[in-house]
Amino acid sequence: MARLPRLYAPDLPNLAQARFTVPLSLGGEGQVMLDQVAAWLAEDSKQHGVAVHGWTLTFDQLLLLATPAGPAGLSGLVQSLGRRLAARLQIGRVFAGRFRSTLVEPGAWVLPSLIWLETVPLRQGLAADPELWRWSSAALHVGAAAGGAVHDHADYWACGNTPFDRQANYRSMLLEGLPGASSTRIERSLQGQWALGGPVFLQGLEGSCSRRAVAAKRGRPRKAAPASE
């Protein structure tokens, strides 16, 4: 079956996942590589016009919440990171197949998607607190670290009127985590590469995005009723 074209619509954030073909080592060497990929991410996102709102690197995957300036921006960023990492590790393919991505509805699913990706290290048992995992944007968003090439989304700014309020309110949400149903919805949208949002948002994507934004209903189309004589 032919693969789906990349789902894209102007000025909308994307949640993306790229899994490594071979997980990085869990020791010091793997940590050095995570440091290097994080540095490349900050550099290459600028080159490819991708505003990164949140990110997480673990030993087996890269997760991004980002808004690309054009349809090729996100693909160019992931490909650039793959080429750099392949050259550094002296291996062939770095990522296991195409990276997965989904469009995310602002005002409804941006913050849940951000919380979902920043709590991956917690779910994988890599850190006791999301902000303690230094290869993610969590520490920046809760005020535990400064700097970093992160362009905060408007939904994050809406968490409070001051930096302290935003950081404190977001930290509460991060520690609370997501309901299971929300996590499942995010994971299914990412796996299927269908847009993540409500009916109005999805309907509004018709005609403005690169392909169908939702999966077609299964089964044969219903036959039209015969015309009455």
Q: Is residue 210 part of a domain?
A: no
The pLDDT > 70 percentage for the chain reads 89
Contact status, residue 169 vs residue 156, Cβ threshold 8 Å: no
Instruction: Find how far residue 59's CA is from the centre of its chain.
Output: 16
- Average pLDDT (173-190) is 96
Q: Is residue 212 part of a domain?
A: no
Chain centre to alpha carbon of residue 219? 31
- Helix residue ranges per DSSP H, 48-119: 73-89, 110-118
Amino acid identity of 73? G
Mean pLDDT, rounded, of the chain: 89
pLDDT for 146: 81
Does a structural domain hold residue 3? no
In the block, tokens 């071979």 appear at: 22
| Closest listed residue to residue 174, CA positions, set 214, 215, 114 | 114
Q: What is the pTM of this model?
A: 0.89
Residues in CB range of 193: below 8 A, 6 or more apart: 4, 7, 100, 101, 102
Residue 223 inside a domain? The answer is no
Residue 59 lies in a domain: yes
217 within some domain: no
Would you say residue 45 lies in a domain?
Answer: yes
Specify if 4 maps to a domain: no
Supply the CATH number for residue 171's domain.
Answer: 3.30.70.1290
Percent of the chain with pLDDT over 90: 72
Total domains in the chain come to: 1
Of residues 87 and 206, more confidently modeled = 87
Cα–Cα distance measured from residue 175 to residue 53, given in angstroms and rounded to the nearest whole number = 19
Q: What is the mean pLDDT of residues 155-173?
A: 97
Q: Please write the tens of the pLDDT for every residue from 13-57.
A: 999 999 999 888 877 788 999 999 999 999 999 999 999 999 999
Q: How confident is the model at residue 3 (pLDDT cuts 50, 70, 90)?
A: low
Parent domain of 21: 14-197
